[in-house]
Amino acid sequence: MLRIQARAKINWTLDICAKRPDGYHELDMLMHSVALADTLTVEPADELTLEVGRGGRVPADGANLALRAANALREATGVQKGARLWLGKRIPVAAGMGGGSADAAAVLVGLNRLWGCGLSEAELERIGLTIGADVPFCVRGGLQRARGIGEQLAPLRCARQIWLVIVQPCRGLSTRDVFGRLDLRAGVDCRPQTDRAQHALEVGDLRALCASLGNVLQPVAQSLRPEIAQAIEALRAHEAAAAQMTGSGSAVFGIFLNARMARAAWQKLRFSYRACYMTSSADSGMEIQEI
């Protein structure tokens, strides 16, 4: 049996360069795994089944990205073995943190090992891309510069651990709705300085990182959910060095200079929101244990 910690992600930066003829957007992002994680257990079985723990708020049928990943791996390899999958959710749903993608990536990696498929990381990423644009990142994890629709990844090294408080202030947002309301012709606000942010991460300059953040989807999401802007201000009021939305929302994160400051903010904010976590950056997208 395998137990996998499938880690969430945040976007330090999210910029949109153009809209493609196929309707997707050309992106330029800095994405980073964080310690906050779902738990997936994988064990041999005759049939392929998925059970979601209590309070998971996600389906346990074919609509779940974890089960879709298992079936995609079967189709790609011709393997028809079974497995019993159990998923414990902690990553908030529809929050811009890649929770479903992290689960799908963990299933691909776990079943590749359990079933002895022998696929490389690159092959798993290609399968993952058929499930969702964030799945290749979640297979690889750590700190990545992501381009294209998010599948063109360049690994980076972060020079320090970064402490965060993450808040989901309201119900989730549809990624399709947020992107659909973005008008590139009118220009975009909250444009990041991605090259500067990358350098700041690589040298461990937290203040330069905070000055370089940006997410062009944030104004759109705030127009749909004003609570997002209010949560960002609440994090700043509790001594976050910077705060912004991750992905297409609705989660927001605050950066703190140390663990003590992050814990103090978390203790004050945790009862005010539907979800509130203290966490930190992580060097990998998942942790695997044989049990």
Please check the confidence at residue 55 and state whether its pLDDT lies above 80: no
Please check the confidence at residue 274 and state whether its pLDDT lies above 90: no
Q: How far is CA 234 from CA 1, 10, 274, in A?
A: 42, 19, 14
Q: Would you place residue 187 in the very low, low, confident or very high pLDDT band (cuts 50, 70, 90)? A: low
Q: Is 29 annotated as a binding residue?
A: no
- Indicate which CATH number applies to the domain containing 244: 3.30.70.890
Please check the confidence at residue 61 and state whether its pLDDT lies above 90: no
Query: Average pLDDT of 129-144?
Result: 98
Pair (223, 112) in one structural domain: no
Q: How far apart are CA 196 and CA 49, in angstroms?
A: 45
Please check the confidence at residue 168 and state whether its pLDDT lies above 80: yes
Query: Average pLDDT of 190-196?
Result: 95
Q: Is 101 annotated as a binding residue?
A: yes
Pair (29, 138) in one structural domain: yes
Question: Which residues partner with 81 through β-bridges?
Answer: none
Say if CB 91 and CB 102 are below 8 A apart. Answer: yes
Question: What pLDDT, on the 0 to 100 scale, is given for residue 180?
Answer: 87
Q: Is 187 annotated as a binding residue?
A: no
> Could you give the number of structural domains in the chain?
2
Q: Is 128 annotated as a binding residue?
A: no
Domain boundary among 113, 139, 156: 156
Pair (258, 185) in one structural domain: yes
Pair (56, 74) in one structural domain: yes
Q: Would you place residue 19 in the very low, low, confident or very high pLDDT band (cuts 50, 70, 90)? A: confident
Whether 197 is in a domain gets the answer yes
Residues 6+ apart with CB under 8 A from 168: 92, 95, 250, 251, 252, 273, 274, 275, 276
Say if CB 90 and CB 82 are below 8 A apart. Answer: no
Q: Is 60 annotated as a binding residue?
A: no
Domain boundary among 135, 156, 177: 156
Pair (141, 191) in one structural domain: no
Q: Which of 38, 134, 189, 268 is catalytic?
A: 134
Q: Is 219 annotated as a binding residue?
A: no
Q: Which percentage of the chain shows pLDDT scores above 90? A: 87
Pair (142, 112) in one structural domain: yes
Whether 21 is in a domain gets the answer yes
Q: Is 102 annotated as a binding residue?
A: yes
Pair (11, 77) in one structural domain: yes
Pair (190, 214) in one structural domain: yes
Q: Which of 9, 38, 89, 103 is catalytic?
A: 9
Please write the tens of the pLDDT for every residue from 80-90. 999 999 999 99
Please check the confidence at residue 184 and state whether its pLDDT lies above 80: no
Q: Would you place residue 182 in the very low, low, confident or very high pLDDT band (cuts 50, 70, 90)? A: confident
Residue 9 is a catalytic residue: yes
Encoding tokens for residue 57? 């708020």
Please check the confidence at residue 59 and state whether its pLDDT lies above 70: no
Please, what is the average pLDDT of the chain?
A: 95
Question: What pLDDT, on the 0 to 100 scale, is given for residue 229?
Answer: 98
Q: Which percentage of the chain shows pLDDT scores above 70? A: 96
- Indicate which CATH number applies to the domain containing 27: 3.30.230.10
Please write the tens of the pLDDT for every residue from 62-118. 689 999 999 999 999 999 999 999 999 999 999 999 999 999 999 999 999 999 999
Please check the confidence at residue 251 and state whether its pLDDT lies above 90: yes
Q: Is 180 annotated as a binding residue?
A: no
Question: Which residue range forms the structural domain that includes residue 115?
Answer: 2-156
